Amino acid sequence: MSNVDRVFAGSIPQLYDRLLVPLIFQPYAKDLAARVHLLRPSSVLEIAAGTGAVTRQLARELATDARIVATDLNQAMLDQAGAVGTSRPVEWRQADAMQLPFPGETFDVVVCQFGAMFFPDRAKAFSEARRVLRPGGHCIFNVWDRIEENEFADVVTRALEELFPNDPPRFLARTPHGYHDRSVIDRDLRGGGFGEPAAFTTVTARSRAESARIPAIAYCEGTPLRSEIEQRSSSGLQRATDAAAEALTARFGSGAVDGKIQAHVVSVRR
């Protein structure tokens, strides 16, 4: 994984929250929060919270006396999350999943939405999640399925392959959609010290937008794919966004667009 894959800065947090959250993250945020709610936790740690899509759902669904701590490596993402706010107070904290700043056996649940793919050492991150869980606590996270099962991301990636044939930007396939193999995830969880088998559930949803231009901007300008495009051409971002929009329009039509998205939810007990 390139270091640029983990950089969410500049205008990315705002575009991410305004476009990507409703486009692809919101259905899975509701799903994760509902799963956490069923466990009736008194304390929850969210890692890689991003701009707070899951955090906002947890604040709505969990008991009012349940402690919610939301962390992310990127302070710019937390700043955006804090600006949007939650329905009740939560604790926002900048933290590295590789080295969580909390005592052992502190939380009933550790939850993470689409963050495990970005961890440089996933076994280490899982070991940290296990360390801060109380005995019997649960680690629940989701990861995107392979890019071919996620139509908008796949179309955008293929459009950029045509635009940059000699060195195509592969961020979406490499990182967000690059950690879907269950055997690899199981191996990393065991490497992190989890002894019980993990439960996997595949969740399919729909991604909808008023026009193809919205997912084109969301992916090309609201993710680290932006930096990868700009590395190839200082003036290429607009061309890339246009090419993605044209490809999405050709596939899904000139009006409102509707595409499949698919992810795996993983739950394992300490």
Mean pLDDT of 138-158: 98
Residue 162, pLDDT score: 97
Taken in order of first residue, the domains within the chain and their CATH numbers are 3-269 (3.40.50.150)
Query: Which DSSP symbol is given to 23?
Result: I
Task: Please write the tens of the pLDDT for every residue from 187-212.
Answer: 999 999 999 999 999 999 999 999 99
Query: Which DSSP symbol is given to 11?
Result: T
Average per-residue pLDDT for the chain: 95
Among residues 265, 239, 267, the alpha carbon closest in space to that of 137 is found at 267
The pTM assigned to this predicted structure is 0.94
> What torsion, rounded to 10 degrees, do the Cα atoms 229, 231, 233, 237 define?
30
Residue 154, pLDDT score: 98
Task: Please write the tens of the pLDDT for every residue from 212-247.
Answer: 999 999 999 999 999 999 999 878 999 999 999 999
Structure tokens at 74: 């990127």
Task: Please write the tens of the pLDDT for every residue from 92-116.
Answer: 999 999 999 999 999 999 999 999 9
